Amino acid sequence: MPNSVLKIEDLTVSYNSGFRKEKVALNNVSFELKKGDILGLLGPNGAGKTTLIKSILNLIQIKNGKVYIFGKPSFSTDAKRRMGYMPEVANYYWFLTPNEILRMFGRLCGIGAKALSARIGYVLELVGLLADKDRAIKDFSKGMQERLNIAQAILHDPELLILDEPFSGLDPLGRIHARNIFKKLKDEGKTILLSSHELSEAELICDWLCIMKDGAVLKYGPVKTLLAEQAQHSLERYFLSIIGAR
C-alpha cells in the first residue's frame, strides 16, 4: 500500500451504556484513503462519525480492528507527526495568545525555533489572524477561534488532515475562506478526512464519500460514481435516499 495514507480495517468500538449493556458505536468499519484524496464523512447525528475520528486519534479504546496512518499504527509518534487534527469545538487555553498556543504545539511536534517562527507567521497570515497573534484568546470571537483551530491543525505541515465539522461556527465569508484553504491544501497534495453536516460544502470540495449510519458504512466511493449509481445530481438528495430519510 505505497499510496495509502489512512487505512481502517474492521474497526469496532462499543461503549458501556448501563449495567451489562453495551452499545456498538462502530461496527466493522473499513475504508482507505489515498494520497491527495479528500474524503467527506457524512451521516446523521449518532452515525459514528466523531467516534470514528476519536478512534483514529486514539482518544477512545478500540475493541477490534486496526487503524494505520502511512502504514504505521495511528498511536505511533511518527503517525501523529504526519497528521493534523481540527476538533469540532475550538477551545484553547484562554490565558495564552495564538502565538503562544502555536509555539506550544509546534514544539510538541519538534519544530526548531527559527522554522517555527516562520511557520507561525505563515499559518496565521493564511487564516487571517496575523494582526491578532498577541491578543489573548479569551477576547476572540467564535469565528476567530475557528480560524485558530485551522491554524493549529496545519501548523506542522501535516500530510493527513482530519477535520471535524470544520465549517461550524463560521459565517458565510469564513466558510468561503476555509473552503479556499482546504482547496489550497488539496492542491499541495494533502490528504483530508472531513466530517461534516454541511452537504453543500462537502459536495464542493470532496472527491470521495463515506456515508455512515448507526455505526456502519452504508456507502463508500468517489462522489461522481456514487451519484451516477442512483442517477442523482445533488448530494443532498443522494444522501437522503441512502440514509432512508424523506
Partner 1 sequence: MFRRVAVIAEGVVKELVRRKDFYLILALLIIVVIYSASFSFGGEKGFTRYFKEMGITFTYLFSVIIGVIFAARQIPQEMESKTIYPLLAHPVSRFEFILGKFFGVFLVAAVSFTVFYSIFIGSVLLRRDFSTPWLLFADGYLLHLLLLSFFVSMTILLSLFLSTAANTMITIIFYFATNWFGATLPGYIFLPHPELFDIKEKIVHTQDVIPGWVLSYLTVYAVCYTILFVALSDLVFRKRDL
Write down the least CB distance from residue 154 to partner 1, Å: 12
- Per CB under 8 A, the list member of 7, 49, 80, 133 interacting with partner 1 is 80
Residues 176 to 215 in contact with partner 1, rule: CB under 8 A? none
Residues 95 to 124 in contact with partner 1, rule: CB under 8 A? 95-96, 100, 104-105, 107-110
Q: Is 70 in the site for partner 1 (CB under 8 A)?
A: no
Q: Is 133 in the site for partner 1 (CB under 8 A)?
A: no
Task: Give which of 193, 150, 200, 203 is closest to 37, Cα–Cα.
Answer: 193
Rounded to whole angstroms, the Cα distance separating 15 from 161 reads 26
Write down the least CB distance from residue 145 to partner 1, Å: 12
**DSSP label at residue 110:** T
Other Cβ atoms less than 10 A from the Cβ of 58: the count is: 15
Residues 43 to 62 in contact with partner 1, rule: CB under 8 A? 54, 57-61
Q: Is 83 in the site for partner 1 (CB under 8 A)?
A: yes
Strand ranges (E), the chain: 4-16, 22-34, 38-42, 64-69, 72-73, 83-86, 160-164, 191-195, 208-213, 216-222
Q: How far is CA 33 from CA 46, 224, 231, in A?
A: 23, 16, 25
| Interface ranges with partner 1 (CB under 8 A) | 15, 54, 57-61, 77, 80-81, 83-87, 89, 91-93, 95-96, 100, 104-105, 107-110, 149, 152-153, 156, 162
